[in-house]
Structure 1
Amino acid sequence: VGCSHEEIFDFAIAGNTAMHHLFLGLPTRHLSLSPYPPVSSRGLEFEASKLGLKGAPDSRAYLFPIVAGFVGGDAVADMIATRIYSDRRISLLIDIGTNAEIILGNKDGLYACSCASGPAFEGAHIKHGMAAMEGAIEKIWIDPETLRVNYKVIGGVKPVGICGSAVVDGIAWMLRSGIIDSKGRMVKGEGMFRMKIEDGLPAMVVASRDEAGIDRDIVITQQDVREIQLAKAAVYTGISILMRRARVRPSDVEKVYLAGAFGTFIDPESARDIGMLPEIPLGRVRFVGNTAGAGARMALISSRTRELAERILGRVKYVELAADRDFQKVFVDALELPNRRRELFPTVNRIIERNISRIRGD
């Protein structure tokens, strides 16, 4: 930013609970033991130099309060940036990473949880997964008539891999086109010229070796589908349980905030169609980017924002998903595409059935 260390007078730090504790040198062993209590949850302020931060001689460092063992100060910063704590309308905030923090509520109260969505959404554990950078396929769509696979690449160069949002796109289109069934199994059929066997399992070729910038086909494998099923089921389960606790239906949610790097790029229609998001009108979905960073910047320049963070903390009810009586059932149902409980996704199922009927000529 073009300034020296001596010109920095204040720091604001928002991160997950584990990073918060490691940064402060606090013990972390208990964070791996139920009920995963943090050593300290309130906001803290120190002389920056005592934390090893280089700034002006009298610079200070503020650390956001944390909600629970798996919902940290970054989630509090998310709430501040989106202002869901003051909105009379019910909002759903999802900050998607290796862990997804989910917050539901309005000015009358907030519920929060964290779910282990895993790194698949960020391209990890995916055969040709990569970060959203030049050469990554960022969007996939399939012509439902010809089953031709189309894609868009970041930077307009030859593709070398697929980022997480494109994998979600690909799976959504495979479902809509009948290439995979509700169990996530790939079904090889007439006209599916892009199908092949990869590592002994079926795979769909997104970019052939001739099209790619690497010396092999770029594919979405059966195992990739499984990884996304696990990740999306975790997110949906968190949302579903919070809605039940708050006595809220999907139709009651007037705003959906998608935050984080993955949340910035994902197609909400694809996320809904695979069953990661409930059936909420797509016009209510907003991409808000790095809200944790935005909230931290607000606290950096305002003592009132820091006081607000403490007040918000007192209004959040943390829900431990694994302890919920319905967790296992909701999660298992959510593994199917879009969900074993078809009545939860009437619009999506109608779209899928209509597309498959058209492909078959029914």
Structure 2
Amino acid sequence: MSSDFGISVDIGTSGVRAQAVDLGRSKVVSTAITMNHPIPGANVMDHLSFSIERGGDCAHNLIIGTVNKLVGLLDIDTRDVNRVAVCGNPIQLSIFEDIEIRDLAFAGESAIRRRDIRSPDRDGKVVSSVDVGLELGTDADVYIPPAIKHEVGADALAMMVKTDFLERDEPTLVTDYGTNAEMAIKTGDDEIYSGSAAAGPAMEGQHIYRGMLASPGAISDVDPKSWRSIVLDDDLNPQLGDIVDPETGEIMDRGEMHDMAKGITGTGVIAAISSGLESGLIKRPNFTTPDGKIYLQDKIPITEKDFLEASKAFGAIRAGHMTLLKATDTEQEDLHNMYMSGASGTYVDARKAQNVGLVPPSVNEIHQVGNTSLKLATDLLMDPEEIDRLQEIADSIRAKHIMFAESKTFEKIFIQELAYWQEGMPFKMYNDFLERSNISRLPTKVKKAEIYEKVDRDIIEIGEKGLKILKRIGGIIQKEFEGCTGCQKCVKSCPEKAITVKETPTSHSIELETAKCLGHGCLRCERECPQNVLKITKMDLKPFNKETTCPE
């Protein structure tokens, strides 16, 4: 006897997650995730640039190909799929839907009009799975939730709707912690200010020496007293790992996840740095350990370079929070509540997050709520009429979006954050600068807030058939560049090992794996080319398979 199924999809900046839902039982059956994004880049602006440069069809096909592969791992008969729901930020959803995206590259209506760009409809809608390219063997309805406005997407709406953020009367912050940290503040009336801080890939465990996304084998937390690592098991549940000497890596006590750590995710980086600061092993910006490293289970190190990378994220997110406070004339001491969503917001120890500036020090309550974007998509499957209510909520919110990249307040604070973390600026000097700039000073003491852990893991329910990981996605960008000598400097410069150089009968061919490439935020390969011939934008995309075909 067949069942009716739905598929929920969350397209994030660092990866894609999908779930199969038995609609008759209102129950999650299985989950599949990727470890990265199929489009080059570690942030949404790289994905946007790639889409504009290559043409929307190319980026669309890369994402649709990835979703189709994930669906194939969900272990259901896709001919029984009646509904699909997809959530994400405006850039990701526009690429998925294959609609105009250039308007998202500019701030303000006048800039868009000058370029004769017509912004598409980003209200909640239902489209055909066949029309967007999903391969289900049937034509299912695809539900796409609305954006509040073109800069504030369905993922931001999800973190507001799937908590009681909108019902709060006192000043409240909500943040989806990730590579691009979506955040919003509500100050007691219906007015909401939002922003998105380009926190960088360290929040997801990327650009970290042994970093990885939240997945089995990732160190997700560290006990600051014993230095015991907490490691995610095959079901993404945190389990006890080994106690080690942080200065040498010597095992002091074995845990049930002994010898099973593969790397460290963003929350583990936060915990290790917080513990290092608390214990004195870190004196901003240097480590006091013999070799300049802090060791965790299985000799997985945190390096001074990792600290500098992570501190950019700490600074960007705290600068974002403080910019929203300034915009609403809210003092630090008047901020009451904090909602933390996303993988980093779920697995991180909230007090350690406060120690590194990711949570304001003055809040009374901290709520950790999990992946609200995927949850919103799953709820849409269960109740399709929910899309009308979401549209009503989106229409009713008087949201003002602050472009942090253009905000002088954000710029001032972020510069001081870099000085504090990376140059050792004293805390008093930091606060004195804020005061001179008419910005609320940070409290000298962290308030002991009540912490409410609403979920045990980022993906609340993985289903009876468990979790599967799709490891190879995207395609190969390839070109034979005239003048290439095959010196391999581009290969050696790539931090993600995304490049190979192959000899051809006439010259050398350079190949780059899109899902590994860090995009425009890196380009070390281009800078290191001694012949100055390598140009990423000139390369042709060769798909791994037919689902990821891009036009030549």
TM-score of Structure 1 vs Structure 2, range by shorter chain: 0.7 to 0.9
Q: Tell me the residue number matched to 2:376.
A: 295
Q: Deviation string for 1:148-167 (max 9, x for gaps)?
A: 74433334122332221111
Q: For residue 126 of structure 1, report the CA deviation from its aligned partner.
A: 0.6
Indicate conservation of the 8 Å contact 2:203/2:313, yes or no. yes
- With normalisation by structure 2, the TM-score equals 0.54
Higher mean alpha-carbon deviation, 260-269 vs 61-70, is at 61-70
When residues 153 and 305 of structure 1 are mapped into structure 2, their CA distance, relative to the original with a 3 A threshold, is: closer
Alpha-carbon distance, 1:53 to partner: 3.7
Displacement after TM superposition at 1:326 (Å): 1.0
Deviations 1:252-285 (CA, angstroms, capped at 9, x unpaired):
333311111111101111111111221134x611
Q: Does residue 346 of the first structure (1) align with residue 439 of the second (2)? A: no
Identify the range of structure 1 (67-76 vs 16-25) with the bigger mean alpha-carbon deviation: 67-76
1:157 is aligned, of 255, 258, 279, to: 258
Aligned positions of 1:26-105 closer than 5 A: 26-35=99-108, 39-53=120-134, 59-68=140-149, 70-105=151-186
Please report how far the alpha carbon of residue 72 of structure 1 lies from its aligned counterpart in structure 2 after TM superposition: 1.9
One-letter identity of the residue aligned with 1:8: V
- Structure-1 residue corresponding to 2:534: none
- Residue aligning to 2:401: 318
Does residue 110 (structure 1) correspond to residue 192 (structure 2)? The answer is yes
Letter of the aligned partner of 1:166 in structure 2? G
- Per the TM alignment, residue 237 of structure 1 is displaced from its structure 2 partner at its CA by 1.3
SS for the counterpart of 2:445 is: helix
Larger Rg: 2
CA distance in 1, matches of 2:350, 2:220: 14
Contact 2:221 2:347 in 1 (8 A): no
1:262 aligns with 2:344: yes
> 1:112, 1:154 → 2: CA distance?
32
Deviations 1:75-101 (A, max 9, x none): 112222114223334322111121111
SS at match of 1:127: coil
Hey, what does 1:195 align to over in structure 2? 290
What's the counterpart of residue 353 of structure 1?
Answer: none
Partner of 1:328 in structure 2? 411
- The answer to whether the Cα contact below 8 Å between 2:273 and 2:307 also exists between their aligned partners in 1 is yes
Secondary structure at the counterpart of residue 41 of structure 1 = coil
- 3-state SS of the aligned residue for 1:204? strand
RMSD of Structure 2 on Structure 1 (CA): 2.8
1:160/1:51 Cα in 2 relative to 1: closer, same or farther (>3 Å)? Answer: closer
User: Which residue number in structure 2 is paired with residue 9 of structure 1?
Assistant: 82
Cα separation, partners in 2 of 1:94 and 1:45, compared to 1, 3 Å:
same
Change (3 A) 1:345 1:274: farther
The DSSP-based 3-state class of the residue aligned with 2:194 is strand
Corresponding residue SS for 1:130: coil
Match of 1:24 among 97, 101, 104: 97
Distance 1:161 1:302, change over 3 A: closer
- Give the number of the structure whose residues are more often helix, by fraction: 1
What residue ranges of structure 2 are gaps of 5+ in the alignment?
1-28, 30-74, 113-118, 234-256, 433-440, 448-552
Partner amino acid, structure 2, of 1:167: V
The whole-number CA distance in structure 1 between the counterparts of 2:355 and 2:137 is 51
1:318 deviation in Å?
A: 1.3
Q: How many residues are matched?
A: 324
Distance 1:206 1:55 in 2: 44
Deviation at 1:54, TM superposition (A): 5.5
Please identify, of 148-157 and 14-23, the stretch whose mean Cα deviation from structure 2 is larger: 148-157
Give, in whole Å, the separation in 1 of the partners of 2:287 and 2:83.
57
Query: Given the superposition, is the C-alpha separation of residues 131 and 48 from structure 1 closer, same or farther in structure 2, using an over 3 Å criterion?
Result: closer
The alignment partner of 1:165 has SS state of: helix
Q: Give the alignment's TM-score, normalised by structure 1.
A: 0.79
Indicate if the aligned counterparts of 2:340 and 2:366 stay in contact, CA closer than 8 A: yes
Q: For 1:88 and 1:296, how far apart are their aligned partners in 2?
A: 27
**Equivalent AA in structure 2 for residue 86 of structure 1:** E
- Following superposition, the deviation at residue 109 of structure 1 comes to 2.0
Q: Tell me how far 1:348 sits from its aligned partner.
A: 4.8
Answer 1 or 2: which has greater strand percent: 2
1:230 is aligned to 2:312: yes
Counterpart of 2:48 in structure 1 is: none
In structure 2, what is the Cα distance between the partners aligned to 1:160 and 1:10? 36
Give distance in 1, aligned partners of 2:82 and 2:137: 5
Match of 1:185 in 2: 285
d(CA) in 2 for partners of 1:54, 1:173: 47
SS at match of 1:195: coil
CA–CA distance in 1 between the matches of 2:400 and 2:133? 34
1:227, distance to aligned residue in structure 2 (A):
0.9
Which residue number corresponds to residue 135 of structure 1? 217
Using the TM superposition, give the Cα deviation of residue 102 of structure 1 relative to its aligned residue in structure 2, in angstroms. 0.3
State the distance in 1 between where 2:120 and 2:165 align: 27
Q: What do the CA deviations read for 1:158-197 (whole angstroms, capped 9, x no partner)? A: 233222111111111222223323xx32153xxxxx430x
What's the counterpart of residue 333 of structure 2? 251
Alpha-carbon deviations, 1:197-244, whole Å to 9, x = none?
Answer: xxxxx322334xxxx2xxxx4211111111111001111111111112
Is 1:166 paired with 2:166?
no
Change over 3 Å in CA distance of 1:40–1:115 after alignment to 2:
farther
In structure 2, what is the Cα distance between the partners aligned to 1:186 and 1:300?
A: 49
Task: Say if 1:131 and 1:301 are closer, same or farther in 2 by CA, change over 3 A.
Answer: closer
Q: 1:56 & 1:10 partners in 2: Cα distance?
A: 13
Aligned counterpart, 1:205: 295
* Equivalent position SS for 1:326: helix
Secondary structure in 2 matching 1:120: helix
* Cα distance change on mapping 1:40 and 1:232 into 2, 3 Å: farther
Segments of 5+ residues of structure 1 without an aligned counterpart are 189-193, 197-201, 350-362
- Whole-angstrom distance in 1 between the partners of 2:416 and 2:442: 11
Question: Is contact 2:81–2:138 with CA below 8 Å preserved after alignment?
Answer: no
Task: Report the Cα distance in structure 2 between the residues aligned to 1:44 and 1:107, rounded to whole angstroms.
Answer: 28
The AA in structure 1 aligned to 2:296 is V
